Amino acid sequence: YTQLPSDFNEFWNKTKAEAAQFPLTYTKEYVEKYSTDKIDCYLIRLQLNKQNQCIYGYLFYPKAEGKYPVVLCPPGAGIKTIKGPMRHKYYAEEGCIRFEIEIHGLNPELDEDTFGEISRAFSSWENGYLVNGLDSRENYYMKRVYLACVRSIDLLTSLPEWDGKNVIVQGGSQGGALALITAGLDKRVTACVANHPALSDMAGYKAGRAGGYPHLFKNTVDMDTPAKIKTLAYYDVVNFARQITVPVYMTWGFNDNTCPPTTSYIVYNVLNCPKEALITPVNEHWTSDDTEYGHLLWIKKHLK
């Protein structure tokens, strides 16, 4: 259903150019509890603009000196801490620098109760971040999120330990969407792995079938306005997928009722780049450990 606006690339090129005027600014703090004899972890606070808006992330390095590929991992949906950052420690153990981020400017070291209070205050349907400012492409909340992913690539490619060649984006659900979006926005990206991406053909309900998460047109009639539909076209994964030229690996399950498999097929079918898919019929909105580790194996096969 989602069509490409005639000024899609013009809008995003202008938006990126404006954001790039703010200098790369961040703090870096060693995190002992997530460091081991093989990897070092740092908590990053990455400032996005002169309004002092920021994101946080855990940056994992191999402990051995060297030059390494960089991997950006955006998060799934919600207002929450970065859960289980050690679950993908094998990226750093096997020779990648990995930056696992949040998108709301909330320190992941906050306790669970605090995150719960913040989430209850700002995640309800009428004022949740995925609908905040949706009447305007300039003011939509996700504009800052997409630019934060590009700024994260600025950070990763500034590291002296980067190998100077490989920039990978990888994530699932909202993180899968942001991985594909970043690959479409930023030509420094060399490969992309996306699992059951959200934000895909979101207005598909207008065509009488399931649209992508967050199911705007299923949950409320207030979303079905010309202004909101126009804005969505500038933020839908489908239109970023149309811009991707680097290799993409997508995985999804047939039984996913959060990010319907039809929307993953839509994204996959519009990709005009080297691409591979792993379809797991039994999967709902989750992935197995084998599938997750398989993402790293695919990445290693596509390093330059």
The HSE-up count of residue 71 (CA atoms within 13 Å, CB side) is 29
Q: Is 302 a catalytic residue?
A: no
User: For residue 200, what pLDDT band results from cuts at 50, 70 and 90?
Assistant: very high
Q: Is 104 a catalytic residue?
A: no
User: For residue 112, what pLDDT band results from cuts at 50, 70 and 90?
Assistant: confident
Residue 285 confidence (pLDDT) above 70: yes
Stretch 283-299: mean pLDDT: 95
Residue 284 confidence (pLDDT) above 90: yes
Of 104, 196, 215, 285, the active-site residue reads 285
Of 201, 256, 264, 295, the active-site residue reads 256
Which CATH number does the domain housing residue 291 bear? Answer: 3.40.50.1820
Count of structural domains within the chain: 1
Q: For the segment 42-64, what is each residue's pLDDT rounded down to a tens digit?
A: 999 999 999 999 999 999 999 99
> What is the distance between the alpha carbons of residues 255 and 34, in angstroms, rounded to a whole number?
34
Of 88, 104, 152, 173, the active-site residue reads 173
Q: pTM, whole model, 2 decimals?
A: 0.97
Q: Is residue 29 part of a domain?
A: no
- 3-state SS of the chain is CCCCCCCHHHHHHHHHHHHCCCCCEEEEEECHHHCCCCEEEEEEEEECCCCCCEEEEEEEEECCCCCEEEEEECCCCCCCCCCCHHHHCHHHHCCCEEEEECCCCCCCCCCHHHHHHHHHHHCCCCCCCCCCCCCCCCCCHHHHHHHHHHHHHHHHHHCCCEEEEEEEEEEECHHHHHHHHHHHHCCCCCEEEEECCCCCCHHHHHHCCCCCCCCHHHHCHHHCCHHHHHHHHCCCHHHHHCCCCCCEEEEEECCCCCCCHHHHHHHHHHCCCCEEEEEECCCCCCCCHHHHHHHHHHHHHCCC
Stretch 182-206: mean pLDDT: 97
Domain that residue 241 falls in: 8-22+108-301
Q: For the segment 202-258, what is each residue's pLDDT rounded down to a tens digit?
A: 999 989 889 999 998 876 667 788 999 999 999 999 999 999 999 999 999 999 999
Report the percent of the chain where pLDDT is more than 90: 88
- Name which of 4-18, 73-87, 142-156, 209-223 the model is least confident about: 209-223
Angle of CA points 166, 171, 172, to nearest 5°:
160
Q: Is residue 60 part of a domain?
A: no
Q: Is residue 97 part of a domain?
A: no
Residue 32 confidence (pLDDT) above 80: yes
Q: Is residue 192 part of a domain?
A: yes
Q: Is residue 87 part of a domain?
A: no
User: For residue 184, what pLDDT band results from cuts at 50, 70 and 90?
Assistant: very high
> For residue 222, what pLDDT is reported?
74
Q: Is residue 128 part of a domain?
A: yes
Q: Is residue 292 part of a domain?
A: yes
Q: Is residue 31 part of a domain?
A: no
Q: Is 7 a catalytic residue?
A: no
